[in-house]
Amino acid sequence: MDRTQNKKNNINIKVIRSNRRSIAIEITPNAEVILRSPQRLSDAQIRKFINDKYLWIEDHLEIMRKRAANKAQKNTLSASEIEKLADDAKFDLPPRVRKYASIIGVTYGRITIRNQKTRWGSCSGKGNLNFNCLLMLCPEEVRDYVVIHELCHRKHMDHSREFWSEVEKYCPDYKAREKWLKDNANTISNK
């Protein structure tokens, strides 16, 4: 096992030689660069390969560093913090549902608040609504969007063009709010 350093960008690369047939680069989740090489390749051939691929290495190393930073920033919530968010959601979300159900002209069943891993909200065929308590970590306009989204399922139980037209009637900038959720999901989820 060798260590090499790319002079252009000061990247440390761990070189592992084995009886493999091809050369490959791996960027690990903790942003370590590993080059796996056949035994027969010379140091000069390995350096040339690294130099040919340095832009790819830099790009993917930056992606992994950002992922690692996001993971480090994310705080895991305690059970009492989740309970507090759920209590807050029980006071915050039902009035929003009542308000927008009236505006949209739909009815709904019961409202349930949960700590969900993958969904912000859902609407059953019977009109029961489920919301993620972590919505309380989102801006108000994002909470409004999720409520509107689920209530529009009372008219269209799919994600058809008609459904999105309905959402847009009540939330014209829904794409920006949806983008906020996607961009920030990793930092506010409790995985």
pLDDT band at residue 8, thresholds of 50, 70 and 90?
Answer: very low
Element housing 49 (H / E)? helix 43-52
Once rounded to an integer, what is the mean pLDDT over residues 107-126?
Answer: 92
Inform me whether the pLDDT recorded for 76 exceeds 80.
no
pLDDT at 20: 87
Sign of torsion over alpha carbons 113, 117, 123, 124: negative
User: What's the pLDDT tens digit per position in 32-68?
Assistant: 899 999 999 999 999 999 999 888 888 888 888 877 7
> Cα dist. 59→9, 46, 66, 117 in Å?
12, 19, 11, 30
* Token pair for 172: 């014209």
pTM higher than the cut 0.75: no
Spell out the domain ranges in the chain.
2-73, 79-188
pLDDT band at residue 6, thresholds of 50, 70 and 90?
Answer: very low
Residue 79 backbone phi and psi in degrees, to 5: -60, -40
pLDDT at 73: 58
Once rounded to an integer, what is the mean pLDDT over residues 139-165?
Answer: 95
pLDDT at 7: 45
70-103 b/e (C-beta count within 10 Å ≥ 16 → b): eeeeeeebeeeebeebbeebeebbbebbeebbee
Residue that wins the pLDDT comparison between 189 and 80: 80
For the domain made up of 79-188, give the CATH fold.
Zincin-like (3.30.2010)
With H, G, I as helix, E, B as strand and everything else as coil, classify residue 72.
Answer: helix
37 forms beta bridges with 17
